[in-house]
Amino acid sequence: MTAMTTVQIARSVMGHVQDAVGEMASDMLSPQSGFLDDKWSKQIKKARKNGVEDIQGWLADELYNDPDTLSDLMGDQIYDLVRGDEAEYKKVLDELDKNPFPGLKKAIKTLRKP
C-alpha cells in the first residue's frame, strides 16, 4: 500500500470532520446525549426560539465552524494518518491552511502550538 499524499490526508481529515459533526449533532439532540454541554444547550434553545427548522443541520454547521470542535476532531486524525511524523503533520496543516474558513483558521493555529 502506498502512503497517502499530504493533499489526500488533508481531504481525508476534512471528510472525517464533516462526518463527525453530523454524528455529533445527531447525538447532541438525542435525549441520552453524551456530548451536550451547557454552551451548546443554550445555543440550541436560542436557535429553536429563532425559528430554525432543521436544528440538526444547523447544529452540524455550527460545530463545523467551531474552532475547538475542529481542533479536537482534526488533531488526532492528522497524527494517526501521518503516523506521528511531525514534519508531515505540519505539511498537512499547511495544506489545510491554503483555503481556510475562520473556524478552520483558528483550529489550525491551535494545532500548530507546541
Domain ranges of the chain: 6-112
Higher-pLDDT residue of 21, 38: 21
> Residue 44 phi/psi, 5° resolution?
-65, -45
pTM over cut 0.85: yes
Determine the distance from the C-alpha atom of residue 48 to the mean position of all C-alpha atoms in its chain, rounded to a whole number: 23
Q: H or E element: which one contains 96? A: helix 86-96
Helix axes 55-64, 6-28, angle to 10 degrees: 140
| Residue 26: pLDDT over 50 | yes
pLDDT given for residue 1 in this prediction = 46
39-74 pLDDT per residue, tens: 899 999 999 999 999 999 999 999 999 999 999 999
pLDDT given for residue 37 in this prediction = 85
Place of cell 436544528: 55
Average pLDDT over residues 85-111: 96
